[in-house]
Amino acid sequence: MSFQVFGLPVSRGVAIGRAVLVASSRVDVAHYFIDETQVDAEIERLRAARDEVADELGNLKRDLPADAPGELSALLDVHLLLLHDETLADATKQWIQERHYNAEWALSAQLEVIARQFDDMEDEYLRERKADLEQVVERLLRALARASSGGHVPAPGVGPRDFAGEDPLVLVANDIAPADMLQFKRSVFTGFITDVGGKTSHTAIVARSMDIPAVVGAREASHIIRQDDWVVIDGDSGIVVVDPSPLLLEEYRFRQRQSGLERDRLARLRHTPAVTLDGERVELQANIELPVDAPAALEAGAVGVGLFRSEFLFMNRNGELPGEEEQFEAYRSAVEAMKGLPVTIRTVDIGADKPLDRMSSAELRHEHALNPALGLRAIRWSLSEPGMFRQQLRAILRAGAFGKVRLLIPMVAHLSEVRMTLEAIARAKQQLADAGRPHANVEVGAMIEVPAAALALPALLPHFDFVSVGTNDLIQYTLAIDRADEAVAHLYDPWHPAVLQLIARTIECARAAGKGVSVCGEMAGDPAFTELLLAMGLRSFSMHPSQIAAVKQRVLRADTRRLAPHLSAILSSENPEGACVTFFAKTGAPE
């Protein structure tokens, strides 16, 4: 029976496919695709884990004391029966053989299927056996983890399976960590659905960077959607349709075709210079997470990288942080891939919704803080880890010898932190000079994402060469809204007058001081804000490569001389969004 699930639209378009559930578990489960040649080895891993658990359960039963209740022995017998049950064993192998899931993922997927069968049973005793099944699967998962010596890292060059000719797939989960999103970034999924998250949560941001439809904050989606259900993701309205009727399915497929035609039309603008009707040249740069994203930025027509989120180099590493050499090679790779265009590298922005899997005692305390978004994160974390910070600074400075590199400091708020940061940069330069290593004197910029920084900008500007407005956090901190919390996501409002006034103030102040200013948050890539940001005087935008063409189209149709006179009225309006539509429609810019 068809039904709908409602969430927040975060990445536009329509996706149609079969649901792939990433089930939550009390045991951490790795989810990755294996290569065709690895299928037999993965099934052998599963068999070895089953044999180990069978021995474990057999030993437990043998070692029961003579006076142990008979129910304990019977319970262990039940667990042994479930362990060898064909519904679990054979079907798990099938997930590996047909979908090329790793063994842990295959087990989790089959547990989800069987658990729902237990839930549908009328007999209470049988329903309660679901807990026994979960315990058996957890034993298997622990055995697989032990055999993998702390976790699996896919071998270089082993990519996701090619599902050409098979049904398209959409990913459904309670949540997806930013690091896990990178594992899926070049995978087979055509869309994402999560129970939690907001419009600027990192799941949403990465989904937009992948240019695939996504809905977040869908509450119980992962509990009511079943494995292999046909699902439609309407990324424009935030609606998920499960088991759609043939008529509805055809309507959405028509919309898919229309979206494809629109993309093709916009793609023709990729190499057209972004110049307004009145001759104002506008920089449209790209946000990237990893060096391998740089070619896509060039292909999309970006004139540089306005934000390289270096923290993604630090994730999914089983506790081992990247050293100076590894970071240097990554940064140099991105710089060389951009072929002389500027690359702005942000120092590691760890904390809040981007935790590391290696944590110090201070970080562990922070992880359990009441509000980690206000705790040890971004530049605060870097300054608390001076050894790590100097390694990163040296790597970035060395990469600057291979092209135009700029250094961006996140979450600037206090002059004391600014001075400590600049001292760390000076020490890193001196260390490189003493070692005779080539490096560059790079420009240093501040991210304006805390209201205090926007308000105190005149005092900060003398210490920096440029500023970049991170609208995602600026909105979050201005409105006291956790941007990853779906319970308050409806209050996250980029059109709020206070937010717009802070952005306008920042742009005006930076331009008056002769300092470069850009916007690198999600507002930069949203065409609804293009004319307003141009009216504020912004001439440098940075966004996901997939968004460049749509924003460029708005730039090419804009006349900044006709936009600017309306700025004051819009900023003082009770409804800035409506005022933009009213005033900018008169300029000839598209509504």
Active site residues: 202, 520
Give the closest residue to 195 by CA, choosing from 172, 218, 224.
Answer: 218
H or E element, residue 336 = helix 324-337
Structure tokens at 567: 């700025």
In the 8-state DSSP scheme, what is residue 434?
H
Q: Measured between alpha carbons, how far is 296 from 545 in angstroms, rounded to an integer?
A: 7
Question: Across-strand partners of 230?
Answer: 18
H or E element, residue 78 = helix 70-84
Distance from the Cα of residue 67 to its chain's centroid: 55
Phi, psi of 242 (to 5 degrees): -105, 130
In the 8-state DSSP scheme, what is residue 7?
-
Give the closest residue to 393 by CA, choosing from 414, 376, 379, 403.
Answer: 379
Q: Measured between alpha carbons, how far is 70 from 202 in angstroms, rounded to an integer?
A: 51
Give the number of other CB atoms < 10 A from CB of residue 133.
Answer: 22
Question: Across-strand partners of 284?
Answer: 541
Query: Radius of gyration (Cα) for the chain, nearest Å?
Result: 26
In the 8-state DSSP scheme, what is residue 99?
I
Hey, what's the torsion of the CAs at 294, 300, 305, 307, to 10 degrees? -90
Q: Measured between alpha carbons, how far is 393 from 303 in angstroms, rounded to an integer?
A: 24
Taking each helix axis from N to C end, the angle separating 386-399 and 324-337, rounded to the nearest 10 degrees, works out to 30
Inter-residue contact 106 to 95 (CB < 8 Å): yes
Inter-residue contact 182 to 314 (CB < 8 Å): no
Structure tokens at 177: 């960590």
Q: Measured between alpha carbons, how far is 564 from 523 in angstroms, rounded to an integer?
A: 18
Within 400-559, residue ranges assigned H as helices are 415-435, 451-455, 457-460, 471-479, 497-512, 530-535, 548-556
| Residues in contact with 426: Cβ distance below 8 Å, sequence separation at least 6, in sequence order | none
Q: Give the residue carrying structure tokens 């004319």.
A: 531
Taking each helix axis from N to C end, the angle separating 548-556 and 246-267, rounded to the nearest 10 degrees, works out to 60
Inter-residue contact 524 to 543 (CB < 8 Å): yes
Strand 189-194's sheet: what is its strand order? 3-6, 239-242, 230-234, 14-22, 169-173, 189-194, 214-216, 8-11
In the 8-state DSSP scheme, what is residue 95?
I
Q: Measured between alpha carbons, how far is 320 from 326 in angstroms, rounded to an integer?
A: 12
| Residues in contact with 122: Cβ distance below 8 Å, sequence separation at least 6, in sequence order | none
